[in-house]
Structure 1
Amino acid sequence: MQQKKTLSNWLATRYQLVIRNEENFAEKTSMAFTYSKVIFFSLILFTGLFIMSLFMAKTILARWFDPKHEQLVLNQQLLELANKVDSLGIEVERKDQFISNLQQVLSGDTSNFKDPAEALRGENQPLNRPADLHASSTDSVFRKEFERSGMSVIPTSSKYRELQETFFYSPISGFISDQYDVKKGHLGVDVVAKVNEPIKCIADGTVVFSSWTQDSGYVIMVQHRGNLISSYKHNAQLLKKVGTFVNGGEIISIVGNSGELTNGPHLHFELWYNGNSLNPEEFVTF
């Protein structure tokens, strides 16, 4: 009587798979196996395929076919862009406010500031935005009184030794026709040069003002490190825009005769440090 096989016997029974040549029945290879090994390796293969399928469904296939995944990615990108736009908006607003302050100082309108020097330092916001950039007669009188008081003159040179030790490029070669004189309200130097002579930036910095004013014509202003600002007036042409970074010695404009307060081609050059005017001849060689 044949003995009945149990499940354990069925799983442990050894079999041999022989592969032969169909033409001459020559044995090519053989492989021994049991059903337990077949089931074990099948489970491992199934588990591996299942895990790989889940991974692909959550990553690669989701990117290809799932619209929710694409929408989620777009929402994240929109959120990042919104944050960047908010940051840029704040920076642009601050820069516009600073440029507005500079325009007021250039035109002589300092009535909207508690302290006129704060307009260039950028430490105070104007109380009211001016309707125009041209100074009234009252503002001009106030400006002259402020300049005569000596508040715009650097009190001591030792405090600004770092500027004296810094190398500045000459903006233009020529002779000085009108020197720096606070008492006369002349807060810069006038340098006469040849027509169409290029004007160079005295040091590395960023252009904070590049436009036309009624009194000074085409004006370009560059902010350097250490709260130093250089101003170039009466230009014939401006070559740099606001926000452009320029290197020391780089050409930024062309000498000219623009504006009402001029009587010939020349450069009116000013230096401002922490809201105070400097004598350019003490720092720059012309």
Structure 2
Amino acid sequence: MGKRKKDKNQKSKWTHHYRMVVLNDDTFEERFSLKLNRLNVFMLTLISAVLLIGATTVLIAFTPIREYIPGYADITTKRNSIELTKETDSIQQVLRTNEEFYGRIKMLLNGDITTEEYERIDSIAKVETDIETADLAPIKEDSLLREEVAQEDRYSVIAGAKAKTNFVFFPPIKGIISGDYDTEIKHYAVDVAAASGTPIKAAADGTVVFASWSAETGYTMLIEHAYGLITVYKHAGSLIKEQNDQVLAGEVIASVGNTGELTTGPHLHFEIWSDGYPLDPTNFINFE
């Protein structure tokens, strides 16, 4: 009985009605009255809180007012930040690539090559000599194996570089070879003697990546071709094409001269490089 009475009293507290009256302060005339109980007030407060939270959420999520909240980043700002980060990474990659490329250009201009690269070139030259002098005639017992090894040796070492040059090089000039390609003395070019003023032509389609004067090599031009190939033209009398010009195979790009300190007469110093390694131009071009 006691518990039931207590529950009844609790319920009575929540449902007991009160009247809120608004009176005129001067005349005490009743202007407004409202009948309430605790349950009504609680429910009204709860609903108001839910509506307030919902309205605030909508304002923050779907209106520009969210941008004025401290610490809140706009979606557009986030997107722009991500795009800027991607662009920065791309720029850094381009810079690294350019540094590597211009480092290679500097190496070509100076004729520098590391010991490791020299040993690689020298080893390829020795393998080429061994293949040319070796007896590759297969015998009955191991004819298939020897044929496979012979093909592998010939094409993986010698023709590995030539595979990239599946287009024909155009002779830059015709003349007498006065200096051969020789890795032992680090002369990674052929010198072709010709009369001063003889037109020098592009060996293949490409883009001029360097065209300027050097104290040692005089007027010098570098052309970048497909497959990572670069051709170098030194000691020219004058340059016709400029950096970033597009050239076609056989197009006149310069003229023969005798410029620079490292020259003994009118000639063209011509080099071919593949991915940073020199190739013997006479393997691809007939200069005479």
TM-score, with length taken from structure 1: 0.53
**Cα distance 1:116–1:106, how it changes in 2: closer, same or farther (>3 A)?**
farther
- Residue identity opposite 1:171 in structure 2: P
**What secondary structure is seen at the aligned counterpart in 2 of 1:171?**
coil
Aligned residues: 179
Matched, 1:107 2:110: yes
**1:205 alignment counterpart:** 206
**1:123 alignment counterpart:** none
* Max Rg structure: 2
**What secondary structure is seen at the aligned counterpart in 1 of 2:191?**
strand
**What secondary structure is seen at the aligned counterpart in 2 of 1:180?**
coil
- Maintained 8 Å contact 1:152/1:277: no
- Residue identity opposite 1:150 in structure 2: D
Matched, 1:183 2:184: yes
- Residue by residue over 1:156-180, the C-alpha shift from the partner in whole angstroms, topping out at 9 and shown as x without a partner, is 2221343564211110011111111
**Cα distance 1:92–1:157, how it changes in 2: closer, same or farther (>3 A)?**
same
**What secondary structure is seen at the aligned counterpart in 2 of 1:103?**
helix
**Cα distance 1:109–1:157, how it changes in 2: closer, same or farther (>3 A)?**
closer
Matched, 1:150 2:122: yes
- Residue identity opposite 2:258 in structure 1: N
**1:41 alignment counterpart:** none
**Cα distance 1:208–1:96, how it changes in 2: closer, same or farther (>3 A)?**
farther
**2:194 alignment counterpart:** 193
**Cα distance 1:215–1:282, how it changes in 2: closer, same or farther (>3 A)?**
same
The farther-off stretch of 263-272 and 177-186 is 177-186
**What secondary structure is seen at the aligned counterpart in 1 of 2:105?**
helix
- Maintained 8 Å contact 2:230/2:274: yes
- Residue identity opposite 1:214 in structure 2: A
**2:227 alignment counterpart:** 226
**What secondary structure is seen at the aligned counterpart in 2 of 1:226?**
helix
**2:240 alignment counterpart:** 239
Q: Distance in 2 between matches of 1:233 and 1:268?
A: 5
**1:59 alignment counterpart:** none
- Maintained 8 Å contact 1:147/1:185: no
TM-score, with length taken from structure 2: 0.52
**1:120 alignment counterpart:** none
- Residue identity opposite 1:107 in structure 2: N
Gaps of 5+ in 2: 1-85, 129-156
- Residue by residue over 1:211-240, the C-alpha shift from the partner in whole angstroms, topping out at 9 and shown as x without a partner, is 122221111011110111111110111111
**What secondary structure is seen at the aligned counterpart in 1 of 2:213?**
strand
Matched, 1:173 2:174: yes
- Residue identity opposite 2:105 in structure 1: L
**2:277 alignment counterpart:** 276
Q: Distance in 2 between matches of 1:234 and 1:148?
A: 28
**1:216 alignment counterpart:** 217
Q: Name the structure where helix makes up a greater proportion of residues.
A: 2
- Maintained 8 Å contact 1:228/1:273: yes
**Cα distance 1:149–1:205, how it changes in 2: closer, same or farther (>3 A)?**
closer
Question: Which one of 98, 101, 108 corresponds to residue 101 of structure 2?
Answer: 98
**Cα distance 1:162–1:234, how it changes in 2: closer, same or farther (>3 A)?**
same
**2:18 alignment counterpart:** none
- Residue by residue over 1:170-194, the C-alpha shift from the partner in whole angstroms, topping out at 9 and shown as x without a partner, is 1001111111111122111110111
Q: Distance in 2 between matches of 1:95 and 1:276?
A: 18
The farther-off stretch of 170-179 and 89-98 is 89-98
Matched, 1:159 2:131: no
Question: Over aligned residue pairs, what C-alpha RMSD do you find?
Answer: 3.5
- Residue identity opposite 1:98 in structure 2: F
